[in-house]
Amino acid sequence: MKKRYASSLVLLVALAGFNAPDTAVQKIRQYRQAHELPLLTEYMQFVGIPNVAADSANLRQTARFIVGMMQKRGIRTQLLPATTPGVPPVVYGEVRTPDAKRTIVFYAHYDGQPVNAAQWATGLSPFQPQLASAALAQGGQLLPMVRAGQSISPDWRLYGRSSSDDKAGVMAILAGYEALAQSKLKPGVNIKFFFEGEEEKGSPHLSEIVEGHRALLASDLWIICDGPVHQSGQKQVVFGARGDVNVNLTVYASKRPLHSGHYGNWAPNPALELAQLLASMKDSTGRVTVAGFYDDVQPLTATERQALGRVPNLDATIQQELGFAQAEGNGQTLSELINQPSLNINGMRSANVGAQAANVIPTIAEATLDLRLVLGNDSKRQVEKVVRHIQRQGFFVTTQEPTDAERARYPRIVRVEPKTGYNAERTPMDLPIAREVVAAVQRTTPQPVVQVPTSGGSLPLHVFKKINAITLTVPVANYDNNQHAENENVRLGNLWDGLETMAAIMQLK
C-alpha cells in the first residue's frame, strides 16, 4: 500500500463504526452499570496496598492481590520470577479461546512512584483511597464510602497512589475481561495477561523475565494499558513511547559549610555554579543547547505527520488551567514537542530554605536531570552529549567523590551519575492489526479516537521489541490525574470507559 493512502485508510477504518450501535458494547456497559459498587470496592482495596519500590513486602502483597483478582475471574494464573533474587514477579495469566487465530498480551504495571504523605491535600493519604465529588483542585469535596443502591457519578474521583498509574490499567483489563465473560460474550483472540512490578524503576529486570519466557509470551500484539487519554477526554491509541534516562549531578565546593558573611564573595558557592550550569543547557524558548542533542532524531513519516495534524489542539486551554503565561517550544504545539527529545530538571537541592534556612555557603549542590528520548536517540550517546556540554562549561567531570588532589587542581567539579536508561520505540501506524485496534476502540465511543505516533511518557517497549513483539498503547486514565505526584487520582468515568475499551479489543477476530 502506498503511504499517501495509508493515513486516509486509518481514519476511514477508525470511523467505520462511528455512532453505530454495538450490541456487545451495550452488553458490557449494562454489566458494568449493574456492578459498579463491587468493582469500585475491589479497586479501592487494591489501591490501598502500598506499592513503592522500596517496600518489597507490600509489592509481593500487591502481586498476591492481583492473583486473587484473576483467580476470581477464572483466569489461569502463575508468577514469573526474574533470575535475580528479590525482584517483584510478573503476574501472568491466560485465557484460551477455541478456534482463535491470534493472541494478544495485555500489559500493565502494579508498582508505583514514591510518596511524601505531607504533600498530599488535607484529608488524603496515599494508601487510604478516598472518593471525591470532583477534582479537588476544581472544588470537589471528599465523600463517604458508597452505600448499596447509591448512584455513582462518572465524574467522581478516587484519590490514592497508583489509582491512575497504573493500577487503573490492571483493573480496566481484568474488569473488562470479567464483563465480557459474565455477559456471555466470547473473546475473539487468545488472551494473555502480563502485570509487571518494576516499571517505575525503569524495568531493570524485565528483560530477564521476558527473554526467559519467550515461548510462553508468543503473541501477535501487546496492548499496553498505561498513561492518560487525550486532554480533550477523547480515547487515544498511541503507537510508541519515548525512551528515558536520568542523570544525577553533584557540584562540589568547600569541604565544610561556611558563614556567608565571613566567606561570601570569596568562597565558591556550589548552588550558584549548579544553577549557572543548568541554565546553560536550555535557551529562553526551552530548546536544549547541548551540542548535537537533536542530530540523530529519526523524522516522522508522512502518515505520522498527518496523524499529528488531526490531534485536537487544547494547548491554550491547558495553559490557562495550569496558570502560566507562555509555553516553551517557540510556538510549536504540545503534540509536536512530545515527538522531540527533552531535558528536564526533576529537582534541585543545596542546604536549606524557608524556616530552615541558615546564612551559609553550602558544600554541595545536587540536581537530577530527566532526558526523554525519541526514535533515533541512544540513551548512552545522549548522556555523553550532556557530559561534553558540562566539560565545555569548565567543569572537571568525575564519577565519584573528588579526591583532595582533584579539589586542589580543578576550580569547578561535578560528579555525574547516569542511571540505567532505555530507548524509544514506535510501531508503524499503517499496520493492519493497528487499524483493527483503532476500529475496536472506536466502537466504544461516539468521538473520534485520537491517534498519536508517540506518548510523552516512557515505557519499556524496547524489551518487547527483543522478542519481536508489536506494541500499541491504549491508555485509560484522565489527563489531570497527578500521576507521579501528590493527590494522584482517577476519574471513575475513565475507569469504566477503560473497561469497555479493553473488552472491545479482546473481541478482535
pLDDT tens, 363-406? 999 999 999 999 999 999 999 999 999 999 999 999 999 999 99
pLDDT tens for 266-322 read 999 999 999 999 999 999 999 999 999 999 999 999 999 999 999 999 999 999 999
Q: What is the pTM of this model?
A: 0.89
Residue 56 to residue 60: CA distance in whole angstroms: 6
The residue type found at 334 is L
Angle at 455 between CA 81 and CA 376, to 5 degrees: 85
**166 preceded by a cis bond (ω within 30 of 0):** yes
Cα–Cα dist 150/331, whole Å: 48
Q: Which residues, in sequence order, are bridge partners of residue 422?
A: 244
pLDDT at 8: 41
Angle at 485 (CA atoms; ends 65, 491), nearest 5 degrees: 65
SS3 assignment, position 10: helix
pLDDT at 149: 87
DSSP-assigned states of every residue in 85-131 = TTPPPEEEEEE--TT---EEEEEEE--B----GGGSPTT-BTTB-EE
- pLDDT for 53 equals 85
Say if residue 255 is exposed, middle or buried (CB neighbours under 10 Å; 0-12, 13-18, 19+): exposed
Whole-number pLDDT of residue 240? 96
Residue 335 pLDDT: 95
Long-range contacts of 384-388 (CB under 8 A, 24+ apart): 385/290, 385/291, 385/292, 385/293, 386/247, 386/281, 386/290, 386/343, 386/416, 387/416, 388/291
Cell of 492: 471513575
**CB-based burial of residue 398 (10 Å sphere; 0-12 exposed, 13-18 middle, 19+ buried)?**
middle
Helix (H) or strand (E) holding 271: helix 270-279
Paired with 348 in beta bridges are: 367
Residue ranges in the chain modelled with pLDDT below 50: 1-20
